[in-house]
Amino acid sequence: MHWCKWSDLCKPKDLGGLGFRDFCKFNVALLAKQGWRFLIKPESLVAHIFKAKDFPHTDFWNAQIGNYPSYMWKSIFAARKLLEEDIGWKVGSCTKINVWRDNWLPRWAGGRIHKTTTNNSISMVSELIDQARQRWKEDVITSIFDAEEAVAILYIPLPRPVEEDIVVWMGDCTNGYSVRDRRSVKVNFDAAFQQHLKQSSSGVVIRNNMGLVMEMEGDSRTTIVKAQKGALNKSTIGVYVNEIRLMAFDFDSISFQHANRGSNLVAHTIASMGFKLGNSQFWVEEVPSDAIAVTERDRQLMQQPDQDGSIIA
């Protein structure tokens, strides 16, 4: 009989184990999940009960173990450390976000302030914002923070209208043109990102500009799925999704559809051009040279008869 360590048996099968659960870690994960529910659903009955007994004057994130804690509260409190690694903030009013303690920078910048020495003159992120214009105080930020961290802060979009700060989980996030009404607008979008430059570029293609019915189409399934949901989005891209939902009310009808990359090549090509152009460019009733071939291909496809014999136009 061959004996194996339990730790080896708990490894995934592709790493040589048998995929058994480590019940100790599994239990900690479940406790941490309960703490996560305290954060995102403070109005729930169980959150109210624990708050009334264990942290009546603060929130779960700032709660202390207290005197004579119950076994359940001690367990959830201990598992809170597991959340600290991947919990972050989606910037809103910034009144709840501590500059030096909280995880609020983009992930590519490390999440938290690391390189800048703590400055006691500021404590909350809201102090870095010009509240009247809802813009970052660029002069203050560049004078206090390390250059790389200053750039990361200035890249964070500030929502309009101002929203409440939301805790987010940093670990995560039909094809074809079916709207036949001539008074419709079809919008294809795509984005490109270059990690080494910390730069992004986006491309948008709008077809037919006569009506108030819109179809949004893109190859980012995550963005489309989030935009289709009517509830307030609390993910790391929620600031964009919520503004999309807000602007959607300007249209009589709007739909969000996922398209594969092959059906979204014009927007993809224009998004990729952004790094070469260096600034914003607009084309009205003309096509940029780099996108002529894919635009012509789309035009030919749209002129082909649909299954019912009609022409897609």
Question: Domains of the chain: which residue ranges?
Answer: 17-57, 87-169, 184-302
Q: What is the per-residue pLDDT across 161-196, written as a single tens digit (0 to 9) for each?
A: 777 888 877 665 433 222 233 345 667 777 777 777
- CATH class as words, domain 184-302: alpha beta
pLDDT number for residue 264: 76
pTM of the model: 0.49
Summarize pLDDT for 99-129 with one digit per residue, the tens. Answer: 888 888 887 777 888 877 777 788 899 999 9
Calpha distance 177→190 (Å, rounded) = 16
pLDDT band at residue 278 using 50, 70 and 90 as cut-offs? low
- In three-state form (DSSP H/G/I as H, E/B as E, the rest C), the secondary structure along the chain is CCCCCHHHHCCCHHHCCCCCCCHHHHHHHHHHHHHHHHHHCCCCHHHHHHHHHHCCCCCHHHCCCCCCCCHHHHHHHHHHHHHHCCEEEECCCCCCCECCCCCCCCHHHCCCCCCCCCCCCCCEHHHHEECCCCEECHHHHHHHCCHHHHHHHHHCCCCCCCCCCEEEECCCCCCCCCCCCCCEEEEEEEEEEECCCCEEEEEEEEECCCCCEEEEEECCHHHHHHHHCCCCCCCCCHHHHHHHHHHHCCCCEEEEEECCHHHHHHHHHHHHHHHHHCCCCCCCCCCCHHHHHHHHHHHHHHCCECCCCCECC
